[in-house]
Amino acid sequence: MAVTANQLTKRQEGCRVSYPAAAANLYEGSLAFINSAGYLDDDTATGANAFAGIVVAQCDNSGGSAGDLNAEVYAEGVFELTGTGFAQTSVGRAAFATDNYTITAAPSASGVYVGRIVGYVSSTKVLVSIEPIESAGASTVQTKTADYTVTAGDSGRTFTTNGASGTVVFSMPAAVPGLKYRFHVGAAQELRIDPNGTETISLPSTGVAGAAGKYLTANAAGETVDVECAVAGTWSVFGYTGTWTAEP
């Protein structure tokens, strides 16, 4: 259940990051996320918003407009977080947020990755080493079973098509240096990575860019590809498994 008051959350000191706040009341000790507009929010958006960190002090911007106030979050550290069904065997597993206070060790399409469980306290509390989206090596996994328009805010995420019953097309944003994504064929169905009409994506096996607007595709479960923009207008592949082909 989402909290509606400040919470005393045990922590080990970590660095702080400041973000412009959404039109929301961000409670001390709660989990915060970056929404699609680029503001710090208290909403997971059913798994769409990336984890930003733990709120340092209450920031009530519910009566204002997005960006009127800034809020700080802890972006590093080990925190005692709350959920259910934990055991000693939970240690080492990934932790996922289901709202602005509750976590679980069970991944789902609506959960947001927040870090790694490093200590067991009780069946309702564990120690989590948090990994916000901007942290080195951090990633959030999103399951998509229908066509999806990828955003710049999704940079750093892994997309999987686990459970898909047909072709899933990922329409890419404008290729801006620094944006990067990972794709995983989760079901034996076609996964397409489709750049916009003027941009290109390289063929993994050769590194040669395809024609403008031509998609990259694979359809065998378990195949993966990492794409990143190093040069504006072009998506390059920096690692892959399986067989990826270009649109004819």
Query: Each residue of 182-191: pLDDT tens digit?
Result: 999 999 999 9
**Mean pLDDT computed over 54-58:** 96
Query: What pLDDT, on a 0 to 100 scale, did the predictor assign at position 138?
Result: 44
Across 64-73, 82-91, 125-134, 202-211, least confident range: 125-134
Of 134, 154, 114, 156, whose CA–CA distance to 17 is shortest?
134
* Mean pLDDT for all residues in the chain: 89
Q: What is the DSSP letter of 68?
A: S
pLDDT digits (tens, 9 = 90+) for 78-117: 999 999 999 999 998 878 898 999 999 876 657 787 888 9
Task: Please tell me whether residues 85 and 150 are part of one structural domain.
Answer: no
Structure tokens at 68: 């009127």
List, in order, residues 6 or more apart from 30 with CB less than 8 Å away. 3, 7, 9, 42, 54, 55, 100, 101
Task: Please tell me whether residues 240 and 145 are part of one structural domain.
Answer: yes
Task: Please tell me whether residues 20 and 42 are part of one structural domain.
Answer: yes
Task: Assign 240 a pLDDT band (cuts: 50, 70, 90).
Answer: very high
Q: Is residue 203 part of a domain?
A: yes
Task: Please tell me whether residues 158 and 237 are part of one structural domain.
Answer: yes
Query: What pLDDT, on a 0 to 100 scale, did the predictor assign at position 180?
Result: 86
Of 225, 180, 230, whose CA–CA distance to 204 is shortest?
225
Task: Please tell me whether residues 151 and 227 are part of one structural domain.
Answer: yes
How many domains are there within the chain? 3
Task: Please tell me whether residues 66 and 154 are part of one structural domain.
Answer: no
Domain of residue 89 covers: 78-130
Task: Assign 216 a pLDDT band (cuts: 50, 70, 90).
Answer: very high
Task: Please tell me whether residues 70 and 85 are part of one structural domain.
Answer: no
Query: What pLDDT, on a 0 to 100 scale, did the predictor assign at position 92?
Result: 85
Q: Is residue 92 part of a domain?
A: yes
Radius of gyration of the chain from its Cα atoms, rounded to whole angstroms: 19
Q: Is residue 10 part of a domain?
A: no
Q: d(Cα 214, Cα 219) in Å, to the nearest integer?
A: 17
pTM for the model: 0.57
Dihedral sign, Cα of residue 41, residue 42, residue 45, residue 51: positive
